[in-house]
Chain A
Amino acid sequence: MLRLEGAQLNYGSFRALDGITIHADPGELVVMLGANGAGKSSLFLAISGLRKLSRGNIWFKDQNIAGRKPSQIVQAGVVHCPEGRKLFPEMSVRKNLLLGAYVHRQDKKETQKILDQVFEMFPILHEKRNDAAGSLSGGQQQMVAIGRALMGRPEVLLLDEPSLGLAPLVVKQVLGVIKTINDNGTTVLLAEQNAYAALQIARRAYVIESGRIVMEGDRETLLNDERVRKAYIGA
């Protein structure tokens, strides 16, 4: 479904991604584990076209999307829900969600249908649909961000640390929603530092350090691995 080959990304002379090769099969939920500064966000920014790779390919269903514009990548079906949410804080929740469907603006009917589904998934957003997005709590803003990404009709959804800064109970709720989205058929790539939480819902994960993949494995292997336990679970 999505496959990166030898992805390399530089910020000036600093190499943030150093030959990343990963893949996600259709319908899979894959976790990218990594500490602060490991390169998770850079990886997602490269996939969604906001940063240009200096080397490597990004295959999405037999098309190489490396070098395409962000709007083309969203249109193709790869949607990025960014770290820090990046909402439009003074616009209403509803307008934020509708702008998520910007690339599908010709097809208002389907957009309305997905909007209803998003409101069904997050009843609180329906309640607050006319409030400014910036006035919501952190957890609710994260729901807007996820909802906005869903409005882009993702086949592959990139979620960058959706649990960051949320209370444990809210984290659980958000992870539940992500699981549901994945169960409904969307391929999900989830970046997390919190391995324990992320591996509750994922089968497979990569561990990224300093722009390189240092480990790959399924849930059991990683949860039992000494280094992973030390670095990402704190046990």
Chain B
Amino acid sequence: MNIFFQQLLNGLTLGSVYALVALGLTLVYGILHIPNFAHGALYMVGAYAAFYFVGTLGANYWVAMIGAAAVVALLAVLSDRLIFHRLKDAPPLHDMIAAIGLLLFLEACIQATWGAEFHRLAPPYPQIVRVFDLVAPAQRLIIIAAAFGLMLVLHLFLTRTLVGSTIIAMAQNREGASLVGIDATKVSILTFAISGALAAVAATLFSPINLIYPSMGHLVIMKAFVIIILGGMGSIPGAIVGGLVIGFAESFGAFYVSTNYKDIIAFALLVLILSLRPQGLFPSGAR
């Protein structure tokens, strides 16, 4: 029971972090139809920003999270304005190459500043929570609560506010959205900002139980791609469900199969599900 509970908790922790990263990726894909490979680098910059705010400036953990979200949101918006927006009439391949270029650029900048070694974000809540005979590290519970809280806020924003519905409208029909007077540029800026902020929050949540290093975004972004392909490109519920599926598969797989194969599981699952359901779990339509 206790061991099962541990795996459940691990799966939820991983899944909620993956879901946050995948949400940002799927939002940008839904609006601009570009696979933003640089999204993993935004996640990585988010971790370093939080590390800088906490470690160097001595900021409170939550303040650092907000700071990191702001920095990465700005960076994401800049990447849209300076790179992706300028390529809007170019073939899709150019977007992808530019995204990979940006990824390498950001990694090089971080490495030049902080070096290639591992860093740690001091755990703000090192306590262990005990309920009956179940134990859980406080940080994991915080990750789960914060991630799901943020997803709920995002959901309410997208479905209940007019500004949020401009994003959904643009994703569902770009021309229709322009014809009712929705400004594509504003929607694009907003979408990139949200996507960057989500990546930074995910990184800040996950960093206290993980390591910070320049290429830390690689595996996360690959998995986020697996998630949005599984969930259906552009689908918001798909990103959340897909994130949880991968999170659980990894935690239970690591336990019942082998930790060595943990990272293969996501990709094995991708091959398996896509051969059964090539359109993904939530084919476009579930937005």
A residues sitting closer than 8 Å to B (CB atoms) are: 48, 50, 69-71, 74-75, 79-80, 82, 85-91, 95, 99-100, 102-103, 105, 148, 152
Q: Complex Cα distance A100/B165, Å? A: 12
Main secondary structure of the interface of B (DSSP, over half): helix
Interface pair A70/B169, CB less than 8 Å apart:
no
B166 on the interface (CB 8 Å rule)?
Answer: yes
Interface pair B176/A71, CB less than 8 Å apart:
no
CB contact between B180 and one of A69, A89, A102 (< 8 Å): that residue: A102
Interface pair B173/A71, CB less than 8 Å apart:
no
Interface pair A70/B178, CB less than 8 Å apart:
yes
CB contact between B176 and one of A74, A86, A152 (< 8 Å): that residue: A86
CB contact between A88 and one of B173, B178, B181, B183 (< 8 Å): that residue: B173
B141 on the interface (CB 8 Å rule)?
Answer: no
Chain B residues with CB under 8 Å of A85's CB are 176
With A86-B175, A87-B173 as given contacts, are A70 and B181 in contact (CB-CB < 8 Å)? yes
B85 on the interface (CB 8 Å rule)?
Answer: no
Sample (15) of A-B pairs whose CB atoms are under 8 Å apart: A48-B179, A50-B175, A70-B178, A70-B179, A71-B181, A75-B181, A82-B175, A89-B173, A89-B285, A99-B166, A99-B169, A100-B180, A102-B180, A102-B181, A103-B181
CB contact between A102 and one of B162, B168, B173, B175 (< 8 Å): that residue: B162
CB contact between B168 and one of A48, A70, A88 (< 8 Å): that residue: A88
Interface pair A148/B175, CB less than 8 Å apart:
no
B215 on the interface (CB 8 Å rule)?
Answer: no
Interface pair A88/B172, CB less than 8 Å apart:
yes
Closest A residue, CB atoms, query B182: A102
Chain B residues with CB under 8 Å of A70's CB are 178-179, 181
Closest B residue, CB atoms, query A70: B178
Chain B residues with CB under 8 Å of A80's CB are 179
Whole-angstrom distance between the Cβ of B64 and the nearest chain A Cβ: 36
Chain A residues with CB under 8 Å of B218's CB are none
Q: Complex Cα distance A91/B166, Å? A: 11
Bitwise interface map of B from 150 to 179 toward A, beta carbon under 8 Å scored 1, else 0: 000000000000100110110011011111
Total A-B residue contacts, Cβ distance less than 8 Å = 63
Q: Complex Cα distance A152/B179, Å? A: 10
Whole-angstrom distance between the Cβ of B166 and the nearest chain A Cβ: 7
Interface pair A148/B180, CB less than 8 Å apart:
yes
Interface pair A88/B175, CB less than 8 Å apart:
no
Closest B residue, CB atoms, query A104: B181
B119 on the interface (CB 8 Å rule)?
Answer: no
Interface centre among A90, A95, A100, A105 (most CB of B within 10 A): A90
B120 on the interface (CB 8 Å rule)?
Answer: no
Chain A residues with CB under 8 Å of B287's CB are 90
Whole-angstrom distance between the Cβ of B229 and the nearest chain A Cβ: 20
With A69-B183, A71-B181, A75-B181 as given contacts, are A91 and B165 in contact (CB-CB < 8 Å)? yes
Q: Complex Cα distance A152/B168, Å? A: 19
Interface pair A50/B179, CB less than 8 Å apart:
yes
Closest B residue, CB atoms, query A80: B179
With A71-B183, A102-B182 as given contacts, are A87 and B176 in contact (CB-CB < 8 Å)? yes
CB contact between A99 and one of B175, B180, B285 (< 8 Å): that residue: B180
Chain B residues with CB under 8 Å of A105's CB are 162
Whole-angstrom distance between the Cβ of B30 and the nearest chain A Cβ: 11
Interface pair A99/B183, CB less than 8 Å apart:
no
Whole-angstrom distance between the Cβ of B86 and the nearest chain A Cβ: 18
Interface centre among A71, A85, A88, A152 (most CB of B within 10 A): A88
Whole-angstrom distance between the Cβ of A67 and the nearest chain B Cβ: 15
Q: Complex Cα distance A95/B160, Å? A: 10
Chain B residues with CB under 8 Å of A152's CB are 180-181
Chain A residues with CB under 8 Å of B162's CB are 102, 105
Residues from 165 to 211 in B contacting A, C-beta threshold 8 Å: 165-166, 168-169, 172-173, 175-183
Whole-angstrom distance between the Cβ of A153 and the nearest chain B Cβ: 11
Chain A residues with CB under 8 Å of B183's CB are 69, 71
With A71-B181, A99-B169 as given contacts, are A90 and B176 in contact (CB-CB < 8 Å)? no
Q: Complex Cα distance A227/B81, Å? A: 52
